[in-house]
Amino acid sequence: MYSPAHPSLPPRPGSPCKQGKPIPAERKSSGGRRGLPTVRVTAVAGAAFAKAGTLVAAILFGAWALAPRAIDAASPESAPESRRQTRIAANDGGAENAHWSAARNAEQRAPNIVFILADDLGYGDLGCYGQEKIHTPNIDRLAAEGMRFTQFYCGAPVCAPSRCVLLTGKHLGHAAIRDNSEVQPEGQLPLPAEETTLGELLQAAGYRTAAIGKWGLGPPGSSGDPNRQGFDLFFGYNCQRHAHNYYPTYLYRNGERLALGNPPFAAHQKFPADTDPQDPRAFAGYTGRDYAPDFMLDEAVRFIRDNQDRPFFLYFASPIPHLALQVPESSLAEYLGRFPETPYLGEKGYLPHRTPRACLAAMISHLDRQVGRIMETLEELGLADDTLIMFSSDNGPPEDVGGADTRFFAGNSPWRGFKGSVFEGGVRVPFIARWPGRVPAGSVSRHIAIFYDVLPTVMEATQQPTPSDCDGISFLPALLGREQPKQHEFILYEFYGYGGQQAVRMGRWKGIRLNCYQKPEGSLMLFDLDADPGETTDVSAAHPDVVARLEEILRTEHRDHPYWDFQEKRRPPRPAAAAR
């Protein structure tokens, strides 16, 4: 059992999973404890999904998949395994059979799942993807011991919708959240109660689940509260705006605020005009004592230790390296004096920093050490071989905001575009997976995969069924170094930020439509990613048949939604700012 570190925590809900709707009264009230401001959020009236049925199926499968730690091939418990063998053989031509057969006689343990999500980390920001100025030895080791993907795509070009896609397994044409959208006093548009998340599916299968880091999918007490979306434990920033300051006065553990030892200060400031920007002491007001990511790491390590004897799912959604530029002095020291620097004075948002390049590099190396600590913890506890670790980023790096010098570090290299764009630089992200003995060490995959594939991949890796409304395809065969039997005909984006953007990739072809609010039927640009990976030349005029097919895909994959429609210029309502 997970043991909360703080005895003041309320008891966990008795049920391991959400049992359909409506949420019981005691759970509905679980988010508004201890004098927290009441957050009034209306759940989206989304389409009716067969969530309850899905969860029941998951529970039934989970019971047999996870209850026995060791499966004896001759025992009655092995019957479901036999059905599994039959199903795999029927679906995949038996290619997978050898793998599972070989594993049958060994002691079997449902794999732990650790998904580490960086925030605004670019494809080119890691050593194993070509970065030369920033040191990432631990993530590079993860790649050396696992598989690195070169055609992996995040869910959306910005934070919240990307995380929605990751956790629900639905692409942006079907997703409940298709842009960052704020609610007051803190938080983002909540995931509707009807959505089924990866957390809920694993929770129903008997996993202990934790979301640690940045959430962004609904305030405490709302339908999108992480405790109501499949996570036994939540720790970190609920609100993305709150995460703009790495030295906040509080973080959340579940629905409760945990005070940190930082002085309050605004997360967006300009440097005073009458102050010397070369004086390090002049920047002291933009820092504090308690660096939030370090508390997140401690919580993650504690969660792993507390659950070492049972299957667990850790979703570690680090806020690093998203702005603001803030890092502990001990981490900054590694890079001081290494780069030409011009103090950043806050003119493009967030907080000033005297050595912005050193800070950005130090933040990424700080995250890298955290990844190393998670790996070491698993190794120390003897869990490494039983744990599938995945590492990725929620979107590309920022273009020219907050002092982040993405061009200096070539963080989006070698692609065109940045965060907020459906060009490759905004959406093609690092993806690394390690599962010793299963995923071939030091391997590279060119399989095209995207965030909505993660849910079915984890479901297959944990021998459970995937909900029928999932848009993804399991890439477990590719991960195991085998032939990948199923490929996407297309992957797509329907993004309601940055003027409205659509993109669809079909093999070598990628269609892009910008300014969708202004011109929802505007012509598609077409790029040939094989010949032109930098997306420099629009070849739509030469391939009208391809353009017509991509337009048809975008049209048919759009599911109508009360909040999301370019034609009707629909968006979620903007709430009035909270009274202060």
Binding residues for Ca ion (CB under 5 A): 119-120, 159, 394-395
Q: Which is nearer to Ca ion, 317 or 448 (CB)?
A: 317
Q: Please give the span between the terminal C-alpha atoms of the chain, in angstroms, as a whole number.
A: 40
Min. distance of Cβ 579 from Ca ion in angstroms?
A: 29
Min. distance of Cβ 191 from Ca ion in angstroms?
A: 17
Q: Which is nearer to Ca ion, 254 or 318 (CB)?
A: 318
Min. distance of Cβ 125 from Ca ion in angstroms?
A: 13
Strand, coil or helix: what is 316?
Answer: strand
Min. distance of Cβ 243 from Ca ion in angstroms?
A: 9
Q: Which is nearer to Ca ion, 136 or 318 (CB)?
A: 318
Q: Which is nearer to Ca ion, 120 or 140 (CB)?
A: 120
Min. distance of Cβ 118 from Ca ion in angstroms?
A: 8
Decide: 231 and 209 in contact? Cβ < 8 Å. Answer: yes
**How many Å apart are CA 491 and CA 472, to the nearest integer?**
9
Q: Which is nearer to Ca ion, 122 or 456 (CB)?
A: 122
Q: Is the peptide bond before 321 cis (omega within 30 degrees of 0)?
A: yes
Decide: 221 and 236 in contact? Cβ < 8 Å. Answer: no
Residue 264, CA distances (Å) to 124, 290, 344 in order: 34, 12, 21
- Token readout for 384 is 């490494």
**Strand partners of residue 177:** none
Q: Which is nearer to Ca ion, 120 or 528 (CB)?
A: 120
Min. distance of Cβ 120 from Ca ion in angstroms?
A: 4
Q: Which is nearer to Ca ion, 120 or 232 (CB)?
A: 120
Min. distance of Cβ 292 from Ca ion in angstroms?
A: 16
Residue 342, CA distances (Å) to 131, 324, 345, 346 in order: 22, 16, 9, 12
Q: Which is nearer to Ca ion, 214 or 488 (CB)?
A: 214
Decide: 124 and 132 in contact? Cβ < 8 Å. Answer: no
Min. distance of Cβ 235 from Ca ion in angstroms?
A: 19
Sole residue written with tokens 């050898």: 98
**Helix segments in 275-404, DSSP class H:** 292-306, 329-332, 356-380
Element (H, E) at 140: helix 137-144
Sole residue written with tokens 């049925």: 53
Cα angle 182, 243, 572; round to 5? 10
CB count within 10 Å of CB 378 equals 23
Cα 397 to chain centroid distance, Å, stands at 15
**Count of positions (residues) in the chain:** 580
Q: Which is nearer to Ca ion, 96 or 394 (CB)?
A: 394
Min. distance of Cβ 159 from Ca ion in angstroms?
A: 4
Decide: 301 and 359 in contact? Cβ < 8 Å. Answer: no
SS (H, E, C) 83-135: HHHHHHHHHHCCCCHHHHHHHHCCCCCCCEEEEEEECCCCHHHCHHHCCCCCC
Residue 233, CA distances (Å) to 9, 223, 341 in order: 11, 16, 41
Min. distance of Cβ 214 from Ca ion in angstroms?
A: 8
Q: Which is nearer to Ca ion, 126 or 159 (CB)?
A: 159
Min. distance of Cβ 131 from Ca ion in angstroms?
A: 18
Min. distance of Cβ 224 from Ca ion in angstroms?
A: 17
Min. distance of Cβ 218 from Ca ion in angstroms?
A: 17
Min. distance of Cβ 215 from Ca ion in angstroms?
A: 12
Q: Which is nearer to Ca ion, 161 or 356 (CB)?
A: 161
Cα 325 to chain centroid distance, Å, stands at 21
Q: Which is nearer to Ca ion, 248 or 396 (CB)?
A: 396
CB count within 10 Å of CB 7 equals 6
Q: Which is nearer to Ca ion, 197 or 392 (CB)?
A: 392
Min. distance of Cβ 322 from Ca ion in angstroms?
A: 6
Element (H, E) at 434: strand 431-434
Nearest residue to the partner Ca ion, using Cβ = 159
Q: Which residues have CB under 8 Å from 34's CB, separation 6+?
A: 255, 256, 257
Decide: 169 and 466 in contact? Cβ < 8 Å. Answer: yes
Q: Which is nearer to Ca ion, 160 or 470 (CB)?
A: 160
- Token readout for 431 is 């993806």
Q: Which is nearer to Ca ion, 201 or 351 (CB)?
A: 351
Residue 382, CA distances (Å) to 144, 370, 379, 386, 474 in order: 19, 18, 5, 8, 27
CB crowding 338-367: b at 16 or more within 10 Å, else e: ebebebbbbeebbbbbbbbbbbbbbbbbbb
Cα angle 99, 101, 106; round to 5? 100
Strand, coil or helix: what is 516?
Answer: coil
